[in-house]
Amino acid sequence: MIELDGLTKRFGNKVAVDQLSCVIRPGMVTGFLGPNGAGKSTTMRMMLDLDNPTSGSVRIDGKHYRELSEPLKYIGALLDAKAMHGGRSAYNNLLCLAQSNRIPERRVAEVLETVGLTAVAKKKSKGFSLGMGQRLGIASALLGDPEILMFDEPVNGLDPEGIHWIRNLMKTLASQGRTIFVSSHLMSEMALTADHLIVIGQGRLLADTSMADFIHENSRSYVRLRSPQQERLRDVLHQEGVVAVEAAGGTLEVDGATTEDLGELAARHSITLHELSAQRASLEEAFMQMTAASVEYHAHSEPGGGAPPPPEGPQWGGDRNQRPGNGKEA
Amino acid sequence: MASVPAVLTSEWTKIRTVSSTTWTLISAFLVTVAMGAALCAVMNAQFGDLDEAERLTFDPTFISFSGMILGQLAMVVFGVLVVGTEYSSGMIRTSLAAVPQRATFLFSKMLVAGVLALVVGLITSFVTFFLGQALLGDHGTDIGADNVLRAVVGGGLYMGLIAVFSMGVAAMLRSSMLSLGILMPFFFLVSQILSAVPGAKKVAQYFPDQAGSKIMQVVPDAMNSDPAPYGPWAGLLIMLAWVAAAVIGGFLVLKKRDA
């Protein structure tokens, strides 16, 4: 179990991590989600005592990282794939780590086998592809057979096979009762692997919720209507007490109604419909909406089809009238 | 706390599994011995051409260590790379995650690398001495002569200390390139030139290499050089103070800064 208490990091007058408090529990995969520059890597570096917090603390099973005598046996981390000496072989890179924590040498061969690098164990790691480097980093995290594992953006640069492998690895490790903490800026990735979600934006905690709750609250379903008789359709809907919201491309969106009801309603009033479709907002949109106010680096041109309107603050399954304009097919 | 023997073993593995260790240390040995031997051979052939003052202060031991001026540069590279590649490769984050106690980590690394540099330095020193004396022929000296053993052991100490000093500087600057860019010109040019410029001499004689190299002289003011206001052991102490300052500085930077 990892406890973050009021963790804060300032670089000059820029706040990278702001009063972050949360608990990462064992036996599940906790996703650490946030846009680029949200402070995920800084937080993870502070958890490993690589960066000194400006204030606040991190406790690992009640202890500060520096108090762990052989930390690789408690917590294994993949921070960035290239954090190894390129002139040293994969085997020797792991061997010197193992020796420093009195981990038996046979573990080196074991973890290389686990990550599928046995064939290149004696090769210098500077010749490794990004994916191989990532696997070597994961091997170093697994070396001490730790109860806690941290992965910073583990799927970055991996091919589909590698991504699939990492997902399964994390699930297997969590099912063994370990604490898995994995960061990503991709909601879709988290939806597949995480049991619990911690969302941050500009260093602040935006959400700390189970994945099931997040899906329940955010996978909004609605009906999209398009008609050449837009004004009449609106009036009719209004008369029937149905709340319709105008969306991009001259369409109307209706929450909490079925296509059957709306289709029959339009037919009764002889309104021509060009589109009548059930839509489901993706989790990615829910995440983007949540973090829109705190995205560090906005693109200058708005993406085609209309970006989600920037909400005042975190839209936590609350105001359903503000919604993304381009829902995906359910 | 981390087990110190375990961290020492780990640092030894780190050092012996990169090729830069081998080529820097072999270079230090070969360059020192070859250049020392060449100068001894030249001196032996041209002894008659030396002026009176140089002949009176002729120091066959010191002459055989002439190669150190170049050889020490390889030791500087060794010392800088031992620490600097942790930063340039990004390995430092992995290393500190494994050994979060900064003092244990840095001092274990410096101890292992320093002892290795000292051993190579001593071997270099003895080989270059005996080879030099053989080439000096009648003008040579004997290991049993007064203060000669002190000078030869001192040559090994000097090389070891140069390496540790470089490790401290690299830990302060956290970059191999920057450290080499400062240390190489300093030892090869700045220190050598300033110690020959009147006026600047007074300061330059307290530079680590100028002070430390006095331990290798058997004859005071060898080869008619300027007299120093300190003896050979005091000179080594001055160098030791520089090394201590660099090591402590490196430790403080590692402790305070984010990795």
Is residue A303 in some structural domain? no
Which range among A134-143, A149-158, B215-224 has the greatest average pLDDT? A134-143
Whether residues A240 and A194 fall in one domain? no
Domains in chain A, number = 2
Mean pLDDT of chain B: 93
Using a CB-CB cut-off of 8 Å, the residues of chain B touching A84 are 89-91, 94
Q: What is the pTM of this model?
A: 0.84
Å between A310 CA and nearest CA of chain B: 35
**Cβ-based neighbours of A305, under 8 Å, separated by 6 or more:** A248, A249, A325, A326
pLDDT in tens, A213-228: 887 777 777 889 999 9
Q: Per-residue pLDDT for B127 more than 50?
A: yes
Categorize the per-residue pLDDT at A300 as very low, low, confident or very high, splitting at 50, 70 and 90. Answer: low
What pLDDT is recorded for position A298? 59
Categorize the per-residue pLDDT at A157 as very low, low, confident or very high, splitting at 50, 70 and 90. Answer: confident
Is residue A290 in some structural domain? no
CATH number, domain with residue A34? 3.40.50.300
What pLDDT is recorded for position B225? 76
Tokens 């929450």 locate to A255
Q: Per-residue pLDDT for A324 more than 50?
A: no
Whether residues A139 and A236 fall in one domain? no
Whether residues A175 and A235 fall in one domain? no
DSSP B117-141: HHHHHHHHHHHHHHHHHHHHGGG--
In 3D space, the residue among B97, B105, B101 whose CA is nearest the CA of residue B1 turns out to be B101
Which three-class secondary structure state does DSSP give residue B56? helix
What pLDDT is recorded for position B253? 97
Q: Would you say B217 and B61 are in contact if contact means Cβ atoms under 8 Å apart?
A: yes
User: Whats the size of chain A, residue-wise?
Assistant: 330
Question: Of A68-72, A242-246, B82-86, where does mean pLDDT reach its minimum?
Answer: A242-246
* Mutant choice from B94, B99, B112, B257 vs A, greatest count of A C-beta within 10 A: B94
Residue of B nearest to A73 (CA): B98
Q: Average pLDDT in the B225-245 region?
A: 92
Using a CB-CB cut-off of 8 Å, the residues of chain B touching A63 are none
pLDDT in tens, A181-220: 999 888 888 888 899 999 998 899 999 999 888 877 777 7
The percent of residues above 70 in pLDDT, for chain B, comes to: 100
Is residue A262 in some structural domain? yes
Which three-class secondary structure state does DSSP give residue A7? strand
Residue B229, both tokens? 């206001």
What pLDDT is recorded for position B129? 96
Of A187, A216, A245, the one marking the end of a domain is: A216
From the list B6, B92, B256, which residue is nearest A101 (CB)? B6
Burial of A216 (0-12, 13-18, 19+ CB in 10 A): exposed
Categorize the per-residue pLDDT at A294 as very low, low, confident or very high, splitting at 50, 70 and 90. Answer: low
Contact B258 A100 (CB under 8 A): no
Is residue A308 in some structural domain? no
Q: Average pLDDT in the A249-259 region?
A: 85
Measured between alpha carbons, how far is residue A3 from residues A47, A63, A271 in Å?
9, 10, 58
Using a CB-CB cut-off of 8 Å, the residues of chain A touching B11 are 96, 100
Using a CB-CB cut-off of 8 Å, the residues of chain A touching B88 are none
Contact A65 B90 (CB under 8 A): no
Q: Average pLDDT in the B124-151 region?
A: 93
Is residue A259 in some structural domain? yes
Q: At CB < 8 A and 24+ separation, what contacts does B86-90 make?
A: B86/A85, B87/B174, B87/B175, B87/B176, B88/B175, B88/B176, B88/B177, B89/A82, B89/A83, B89/A84, B89/A85, B89/A86, B90/A80, B90/A82, B90/A83, B90/A84
Q: Per-residue pLDDT for A66 more than 70?
A: yes
> What range defines the domain where residue A273 resides?
221-280
Distance in angstroms (rounded) separating the CA atoms of residues B224 and B200: 18
Domains in chain B, number = 1
Residue B12, both tokens? 């030894």
* Mutant choice from A100, A126, A140 vs B, greatest count of B C-beta within 10 A: A100
Categorize the per-residue pLDDT at A296 as very low, low, confident or very high, splitting at 50, 70 and 90. Answer: low
Å between B80 CA and nearest CA of chain A: 15
Which three-class secondary structure state does DSSP give residue A281? coil
The percent of residues above 90 in pLDDT, for chain A, comes to: 48
Q: Per-residue pLDDT for A306 more than 80?
A: no
ipTM score here? 0.89
Q: What's the one-letter identity of residue B143?
A: I
Q: Average pLDDT in the B10-29 region?
A: 95
Q: Per-residue pLDDT for A234 more than 60?
A: yes
Q: At CB < 8 A and 24+ separation, what contacts does B49-57 make?
A: B51/B224, B53/B224, B54/B223, B54/B224, B56/B224, B57/B219, B57/B220, B57/B221, B57/B222, B57/B223, B57/B224, B57/B225
Contact B96 A50 (CB under 8 A): yes
Q: Per-residue pLDDT for B17 more than 50?
A: yes
What pLDDT is recorded for position A211? 87
Q: Per-residue pLDDT for A152 more than 60?
A: yes
Categorize the per-residue pLDDT at A325 as very low, low, confident or very high, splitting at 50, 70 and 90. Answer: very low
Q: Which element (helix H / strand E) includes B44?
A: helix B19-45
Mean pLDDT of chain A: 85
In 3D space, the residue among A145, A149, A119 whose CA is nearest the CA of residue A132 turns out to be A119
Contact B94 A140 (CB under 8 A): yes
Of A216, A234, A263, the one marking the end of a domain is: A216
Residue of A nearest to B90 (CA): A83
Q: Would you say A184 and A190 are in contact if contact means Cβ atoms under 8 Å apart?
A: yes
Whether residues A129 and A269 fall in one domain? no
Distance in angstroms (rounded) separating the CA atoms of residues A78 and A142: 9
Whether residues A93 and A233 fall in one domain? no
> What range defines the domain where residue B40 resides?
4-256
Å between A99 CA and nearest CA of chain B: 5
Q: Per-residue pLDDT for A329 more than 60?
A: no
Q: Average pLDDT in the B202-227 region?
A: 87
What pLDDT is recorded for position A130? 85
Distance in angstroms (rounded) separating the CA atoms of residues A37 and A9: 13
Q: Per-residue pLDDT for B204 more than 50?
A: yes
pLDDT in tens, B22-60: 999 999 999 999 999 999 999 999 888 888 888 888 999
Å between B179 CA and nearest CA of chain A: 19
What pLDDT is recorded for position A322? 41
Q: Per-residue pLDDT for A313 more than 60?
A: no
Question: Of A2-6, B52-56, B215-219, where does mean pLDDT reach its minimum?
Answer: B52-56
Contact B94 A102 (CB under 8 A): no
Whether residues A228 and A137 fall in one domain? no
Whether residues A68 and A168 fall in one domain? yes
pLDDT in tens, B152-186: 999 999 999 999 999 999 999 999 999 999 999 99
Distance in angstroms (rounded) separating the CA atoms of residues B187 and A253: 76
What pLDDT is recorded for position A297? 59
Contact A92 B17 (CB under 8 A): yes
Whether residues A170 and A275 fall in one domain? no
What pLDDT is recorded for position A302? 45
Is residue A327 in some structural domain? no
Q: Average pLDDT in the B201-219 region?
A: 91
**How many cross-chain Cβ pairs, A to B, lie less than 8 Å apart?**
99
What pLDDT is recorded for position A299? 60
Q: Per-residue pLDDT for A261 more than 70?
A: yes
Question: Of A262-276, A288-302, B78-92, B101-115, where does mean pLDDT reach its minimum?
Answer: A288-302
What pLDDT is recorded for position A323? 42
Whether residues A120 and A256 fall in one domain? no
Is residue A304 in some structural domain? no
Is residue A330 in some structural domain? no
pLDDT in tens, A34-48: 888 889 999 999 999
In 3D space, the residue among B250, B99, B224 whose CA is nearest the CA of residue A72 turns out to be B99
From the list B3, B85, B100, which residue is nearest A102 (CB)? B3
Using a CB-CB cut-off of 8 Å, the residues of chain A touching B258 are 45, 50-52
Categorize the per-residue pLDDT at A330 as very low, low, confident or very high, splitting at 50, 70 and 90. Answer: very low
Using a CB-CB cut-off of 8 Å, the residues of chain B touching A52 are 256, 258
pLDDT in tens, A96-150: 999 999 999 999 999 999 999 999 999 998 889 888 899 999 999 999 999 999 9
What pLDDT is recorded for position A307? 43
Beta strands A2-11 and A14-24, pairing class: antiparallel
Whether residues A130 and A225 fall in one domain? no
